[in-house]
Chain A
Amino acid sequence: MLKLATLETESTDTGGFGSEYSSAANEQDPDFYWPPSSIPNAFSAAANEQDLVFRWSFSTFPYFAELDALNATPIEPHVLTQVKLRRALDRWVEQTQYESSLGVIKSHPSYAEVIDLGRTALVELLERLSAGDARVQWFPALKALAHTDPVPPHLRGKIRDMATAWVDWGRQQGLV
């Protein structure tokens, strides 16, 4: 333990800031030493398992160097875009799952986020369709991203068939 204000003596105490640590009476104060007795010392005996975990968390928490190194690791822009896109798609589906109105679905903020990501979003949606993840939300976004609609009129509303038409179009364009 570190004894605070050890250099202070009664003769040099001027009553200013920190002067309270200079008196011998304050040595009885539990906060006189650091760490104070209210925080368990890792070297003292643990009372129980919870106490042990509590001390372990104190002893391992300040890995700031590692955290700084992690934060300083450069992340490729396309990886960030992918993360942003997938979060937007997941949020969009989750928050519009009870909506039938395509107007409401398209007015969700995630729709604009997805459209902003352009070709990356187009490829991701086509890959999801190719993997069997066909959702109502995807189709207006695909039409806006691709500036075309490969779904023949007689298949409108038939989600599986629409997915197949889009995947075929994506293969023809070399996107999937």
Chain B
Amino acid sequence: MKKRAISLTVLLLFVFSILAGCGQKPAENNAPAPNGEKAKLEIWVYDEFYKDGDNSPIAQATKKFNESNPDIEVTFVPTPYGSSSYRDKYIQAANGGGGPDVILSDNVWVPQLAAMNLINPLTEKLGDKKNEFFQGTIDAATWNNDIYGVPFHADIMVLFYNKTAFKNAGLDPEKPPTTWEEFRSAAKALTKDGKYGFGLLGGWGGSFEWLPWFWQNGGEILDASGKKAAFNNEAGMEATEFFLNLLTKDGVVPKAAFTWKSWDELTAGFATQTIAMAEGMDVLLQKLDSQKVDFEWGVAPLPGKKTQAATLGGGHWVINKNSKNVDAAYKWIDFISSKDNLGMMDAYKRTSARIDADSQEIIKNDARKQVFFKAMEYARPRPIIAEWTQIDYDTIQPAFMSVIHEGADIKAAMNKAAEQVDKIMAGE
């Protein structure tokens, strides 16, 4: 009996030790480097930034950093861009106490990661250097009075229009619309024979393209307290009605566009002349440049109303809360976002978030890119609240879709969305 108990205990101990061994983390290799040991930095970037492996511009630029910082070793981990593939992967890793040291974060994710307490505030480290970036890009990373991300690339929304189609419709191809009414009448004139005046990423309900119109009319998502919805006030409703009417009553948007969710689909729509105007960012310019089209097209600032406004997208460098090499990580971020590396942004055909980005070759030599650059002055990030994605996906997009697909009343739909937003902000 005794013997049996002993053997049982031994066996159980053995089993537990195996299991405990499994649970134990292998010795942390990114512990702070005392002397002679290298600080190891793991950096996540969107896979498009690391397409060519070690020959990718960012890896090439980092070589210089390695030379002057032999005590820091940088490893890039390219990860497919996307909320579920990239952001959620990071959230899971960081919540478990691990994850990379630095990630490139879409600017809408920064307040979310900050609210979840998964990234470090960088206000002090950044100091006066924040003035080297466009205010909008710093705003995008500012949450609860702290700056959580260092701006990297900036994507600005402008108007893309088909000059040939303008000519054919009797419009002046060198005078793209500058007001809402001009835009609407141009879109109507361009809509004929199975072609349409305007197209958008309708699979998202159009909320992405809607924001500039909404802001231009003085609309705000939340009121001054930041706790209550304000987008259904008079100014907001006027903009929303104008915009949604383009999609419904005015009939200037093809039905097919209501399923488009990717830039590829929008590019195809524009390149095949299905749509003559679109709101697009830098990526649309790149995609159209890579296609052979047999018509002339151009870019212009979005038409304005009371004020001018455009949506500002882009990426920020953020540092993991769990990183053991915060100083080394910031050192690298400071290096990569410096003026010396504007050439790297050229290689990516991306616009830097720096105010001196106009010294980039691709901006200096391309009149179209200057349109983008000038729009930086008034470009605004999407609402800088952790709840924005939820508000967008769970209230505004469904409201728009109920108007587009089910013929719901715009006012009623937006009021219902506002009630839901109040609940979300209250944490119910």
Q: Do A and B bind each other?
A: no
Question: Which A residues are within 8 Å of any B CB, using their own CB?
Answer: none
Question: Which B residues are within 8 Å of any A CB, using their own CB?
Answer: none
